[in-house]
Amino acid sequence: MLEARTPMKVSEAVEKVLQIEAVHNKTETVPLQEAGGRILAEAVIADAPVPPFNRSPLDGFAVRSADTKGAGRDTPVTLQVIETVGAGHVAEKVPQPGEAIRVMTGTIMPKETDAIVMFELTKEAEDGSAITITREFNSWDNVVIKGEEMEKGTVVLEAGERLHAGGIAALATFGYDQVQVTAKPVIGVFATGTELLEPGDPLEPGKIRNSNAPMVVEQLREAGAAPVYYGQLPDDFDLCYSRVQNVLGDVDALITTGGVSVGDFDFLPAIYEKLGAEVLFNKVAMRPGSVTTVAQWNGKPLFGLSGNPSACFVGFELFTGPWLRHSMGDKKPYLQQSKALLGSDFPKPNPFTRFVRGHITFQDGRLIATPAGLDKSQVVTSLSRANALIVLPGGTRGFQTGDQVAVLLLRGEGEAYFEEPVKDR
Ligand SMILES: Nc1nc2c(c(=O)[nH]1)N[C@H]1C(S)=C(S)[C@@H](COP(=O)(O)OP(=O)(O)OC[C@H]3O[C@@H](n4cnc5c(N)ncnc54)[C@H](O)[C@@H]3O)O[C@H]1N2
Ligand code: MOO
Ligand SMILES: [Mg+2]
């Protein structure tokens, strides 16, 4: 008689997985241009004020504001232009009263000048030797002040933040051509199942193509890990056991897909037992992925994801992804959550919490979450357009269009150009 498995609540299961401490905790230094997507292992500190000097935000003339006092339409002030300076150069001359320097956007303010007059507000002599100005300027008008954006010593980004293009720009600004990031955990992947063909193989009776391994490898990449795909294994206990045992020393965690349920050829439970791994849970109160099993061996998590593609995907997103990000020191290991309105009926009753592969759109300022297709554990194609998991509580009879639901966001692209804001007052 089969031993009954006790389902664990999803939240409890996630908590248990995150208690497995990172086994490596390594950091590495990478060139700035390879740091995108990585997690900072050090805080980024401003090594200088930004901007590092007072500068012009316009193409114009650097003037002594006192010279413009009394300037008006009927009382124009004339200034002699004594030099032209482009960004990157420092003026050689120092304007005396009645003198100005022609500067381009980004140029360091010449000595003794304290205001910029844009070209469009001046009238130039034919030969460029003088300008007239017909309004007054105050001290520091149109000047970008040294340190106005950030003072030296300010923490720009903290350890644990993921680097995106904007963070790369900040690193470059503060002279980080190399950056300390947390190492990518090395995660081994096996797909199990005698029925599996590789994607390039023609179909044969009783066989299907292995979609889980390429999917999981991509999920690992997207989460920032270093996947190592070890290939597919037939449902053969001795072979599976020895292959799994062989690679455990080389990885920070191992993912297997398939073979975790109660079938005659589902060998993962027996493999965990023979390895002496501690099983944290082997049944979760969720659909799909109720059979998701996580064990721990020498401090390394062994993720026994379901063979059913949708269950495999969801198991990864709920357990493996957060553990990975957490173990890389990411301060935000979980999927972004929101509330949305259901875009179509979902009549299926739910014994367990259900994670429906869905598609998120914005309509009239509201987030609409629509199931992406056939919602069965065996289904693979509905994953291809899913950008969210719609979370439906268990113990319910089904849901209707317009019901408010929780969603976990998988990605953030939109399908329409943003709406130009309309002035309403
Ligand atoms: N008597 C019971 N049977 C089943 C139960 C149960 O509680 N009692 N649970 C069902 C649920 S729920 C799920 S989910 C599956 C989980 O099965 P396994 O994780 O053991 O996975 P397999 O049996 O190896 O395969 C299941 C299914 O997925 C296909 N598969 C496997 N690997 C891949 C792959 N790499 N790419 C694409 N598809 C794959 C496989 O051919 C099977 O069709 O168990 C239920 N049974
Ligand atoms: O674990 Mo199964 O995916 O619940 O369908
Ligand atoms: Mg099975």
3-state secondary structure 162-177: ECCHHHHHHHHHCCCC
240-250 mean pLDDT:
98
307-311 mean pLDDT:
97
CATH number assigned to the domain covering 336-409: 2.40.340.10
Distance CA 141, CA 56 (A): 10
Ligand number with the minimum distance to the CA of 260: 1
The sign one gets for the Cα dihedral 266, 269, 273, 276 is positive
Closest residue by Cα to residue 14 from 260, 301, 248: 301
- pLDDT-derived band of residue 1, with 50, 70 and 90 as boundaries? low
Tokens of 126: 């034919």
237-243 mean pLDDT:
98
- Evaluate if residue 416 carries a pLDDT over 80: no
**What residue's CA is closest to ligand 1, atom 10?**
261
Closest residue by Cα to residue 48 from 142, 140, 149, 144: 149
The answer to whether 236 and 197 have CB atoms below 8 angstroms apart is no
**What residue's CA is closest to ligand 1, atom 23?**
259
397 compared with 151, residue with greater pLDDT: 151
Could you tell me the distance, in angstroms and rounded to a whole number, from the CA of residue 240 to the centre of ligand 3?
14
- Evaluate if residue 117 carries a pLDDT over 80: yes
**248 vs 14, 242, 275, 297, 298, CA distance in Å?**
22, 10, 10, 9, 9
Task: List all residues 6 or more positions away from 313 whose beta carbon is below 8 Å from its beta carbon.
Answer: 215, 219, 357, 383
- Evaluate if residue 392 carries a pLDDT over 80: yes
Distance CA 102, CA 128 (A): 10
Could you tell me the distance, in angstroms and rounded to a whole number, from the CA of residue 313 to the centre of ligand 1?
13
- Evaluate if residue 417 carries a pLDDT over 90: no
Distance CA 145, CA 254 (A): 53
Distance CA 181, CA 214 (A): 26
* Residue 291 CA, closest ligand 2 atom number: 1
**CB distance 195 to ligand 1 below 6 Å:** yes
Distance CA 136, CA 310 (A): 69
Q: Which one of 306, 314, 318, 379 would you pick to mutate in the ligand 1 pocket, going by the greatest count of ligand atoms within 8 A of its CB?
A: 306
- pLDDT-derived band of residue 44, with 50, 70 and 90 as boundaries? very high
Q: Which one of 290, 291, 313, 381 would you pick to mutate in the ligand 1 pocket, going by the greatest count of ligand atoms within 8 A of its CB?
A: 291
What is the residue type of 324? L
* Residue 287 CA, closest ligand 2 atom number: 4
- pLDDT-derived band of residue 312, with 50, 70 and 90 as boundaries? very high
Question: Which helix (H) or strand (E) covers residue 22, if one does?
Answer: none
Could you tell me the distance, in angstroms and rounded to a whole number, from the CA of residue 310 to the centre of ligand 2?
8
The sign one gets for the Cα dihedral 160, 163, 166, 171 is positive
- Evaluate if residue 424 carries a pLDDT over 90: no
* Residue 308 CA, closest ligand 2 atom number: 3
Could you tell me the distance, in angstroms and rounded to a whole number, from the CA of residue 221 to the centre of ligand 3?
26
At 243 the three-state DSSP class reads helix
Could you tell me the distance, in angstroms and rounded to a whole number, from the CA of residue 259 to the centre of ligand 3?
5
- Correct CATH for 60-133 of 2.30.30.30, 3.40.50.2020, 2.170.190.11, 3.90.1150.10: 2.170.190.11
The answer to whether 186 and 252 have CB atoms below 8 angstroms apart is yes
Task: For domain 10-26+183-327, give the fold.
Answer: Molybdenum Cofactor Biosythetic Enzyme; Chain A (3.40.980)
Task: For domain 28-51+148-182, give the fold.
Answer: Molybdopterin biosynthesis moea protein, domain 2 (3.90.105)
pLDDT in tens, 338-378: 999 999 999 988 889 999 999 999 888 899 999 998 889 99
- pLDDT-derived band of residue 129, with 50, 70 and 90 as boundaries? very high
pLDDT of residue 412: 73
Q: What's the pTM?
A: 0.92
What is the residue type of 1? M
Tell me the helix, strand and coil percentages in the chain, rounded to 5.
20, 30, 50
**CB distance 65 to ligand 1 below 6 Å:** no
Distance CA 177, CA 170 (A): 11
Distance CA 169, CA 323 (A): 28
Could you tell me the distance, in angstroms and rounded to a whole number, from the CA of residue 349 to the centre of ligand 2?
15
Q: Which one of 10, 212, 257, 291 would you pick to mutate in the ligand 2 pocket, going by the greatest count of ligand atoms within 8 A of its CB?
A: 291
Ligand number with the minimum distance to the CA of 255: 1
Tokens of 365: 């300022």
> Which CB contacts under 8 angstroms, 24+ apart, belong to 9-14?
9/284, 9/285, 10/284, 10/285, 10/286, 10/318, 10/353, 13/280, 13/281, 13/284, 13/292, 13/294, 13/318, 13/319, 14/318, 14/319, 14/322
* Residue 377 CA, closest ligand 1 atom number: 14
- Evaluate if residue 279 carries a pLDDT over 70: yes
pLDDT in tens, 84-98: 999 999 999 999 999
pLDDT in tens, 139-183: 999 999 999 999 999 999 999 999 999 999 999 999 999 999 999
Q: Parse the chain into domains and list their residue ranges.
A: 10-26+183-327, 28-51+148-182, 60-133, 336-409
User: How large a percentage of the chain has pLDDT more than 90?
Assistant: 90
pLDDT of residue 147: 97
> What residues are in contact with ligand 2 under a 6 Å CB criterion?
287-291, 306, 308, 311, 377
